[in-house]
Amino acid sequence: MAGISDLPFRSLNRRFGCEFAFVEMINARSLGYRGRKTQQMLSCAEKDRPLGIQLLAGENKWLARALDIVEEYDFDLLDFNAACPARKVIRRGEGAGLLKEPRKLYSLLKLMVNASSRPVSVKLRTGWDEHSLNCADAARYAEDAGVSAVFIHGRTKEQGYGGSVDYGAIAGVKRAVSVPVIASGDVLSPESAVKMFRETGCDGILVARGALGNPWIFRRIYRRLSGGREEKWPSTDEICSVMKEHFDACVDFYGEKNGVVIFRKFFAWYTKGMRHVRALREKACHVRSREEMYLLIAGILAPENER
């Protein structure tokens, strides 16, 4: 997830059972400039494996240059994004915009497969809108180009991140190709993970928003899939302890000033659904120092919030 899946986030989720992760999506053009932010996005740790990188591109020239640079790193999988619905991305003919141009998508994927020493995959959506559900065709094109797996978010570009997931369209992709299909969309609980496998016949699932402030989701899903006893919900104590661990990792990685700002949104996600924390959540939007964030996290456990 762009803006989310940084090293601190991935490291925490790995500890809870996340088996495969991606660094944040990188625009092929910015990779060429080798800026500080991009370098930070590319950093990983020994235990942060297996790890994929996802590229966003609309032109062969930029993609080829980016792939040269990617070869200097040791990623386990190279994914191509044909799913991002952001307006500025579509305007450049990138992301989900490529669903309207399957030949161009094919040529970009072919270039990527030929240039990379690592397996290549593609991330698709079900189509541009409900009148053009072409993901099965796009997946076939991708397979012909040589991809080793297809990731599919079961919504159209027009749906963005709302509306219901089209399990039938994902099942259609699974029938259309013989490479593994990894399904995405509203995998928010063990129940929805089971549903995704059952309704689509997919080979794997992607957890996205379900992991925001909720690394426990990985353990809960594994337990359910392996027929084990249901994992209990974490106590408020445990949530606070994980929050602190995540926050410390952010500050270590980005420095205090940026780490605190980056963690603000996570404070809101970790405390979602908790009672009596509204004031703390509001304060979290303005926190500037490590000490202030510690106080807010400790405040969750204060007696007046335990009512």
Give least dist CB 237 to ligand FMN, A.
Answer: 27
Give least dist CB 205 to ligand FMN, A.
Answer: 9
Cα separation, 144 vs 164, in Å, equals 30
Query: Closest CB to ligand FMN among 54 and 271?
Result: 54
* Range list of β-strands (E), 3-145: 21-22, 26-27, 51-56, 77-82, 120-125
Determine whether 141 is exposed, middle or buried from the number of CB atoms within 10 Å of its CB (0-12, 13-18, 19+): buried
| Residue 10: both structure tokens together | 């991935």
* Range list of β-strands (E), the chain: 21-22, 26-27, 51-56, 77-82, 120-125, 149-153, 181-184, 204-205
Query: Closest CB to ligand FMN among 42 and 83?
Result: 83
Query: Closest CB to ligand FMN among 202 and 240?
Result: 202
> Which one is catalytic: 84, 135, 240, 250?
84
Give least dist CB 28 to ligand FMN, A.
Answer: 13
Quick one: DSSP state of residue 77?
A: E
Let me know: does 216 contact 231? Beta carbons within 8 Å: yes
According to DSSP, the residues that pair with 152 across neighbouring strands are: 124, 183
Let me know: does 158 contact 186? Beta carbons within 8 Å: no
Active site residue 44: no
Residues making contact with ligand FMN (CB under 6 A): 1-4, 25, 54, 81, 83, 123, 153, 161, 184-187, 206, 208-210
Query: Closest CB to ligand FMN among 24 and 143?
Result: 24
Give least dist CB 2 to ligand FMN, A.
Answer: 4
Q: Which residues are catalytic?
A: 84
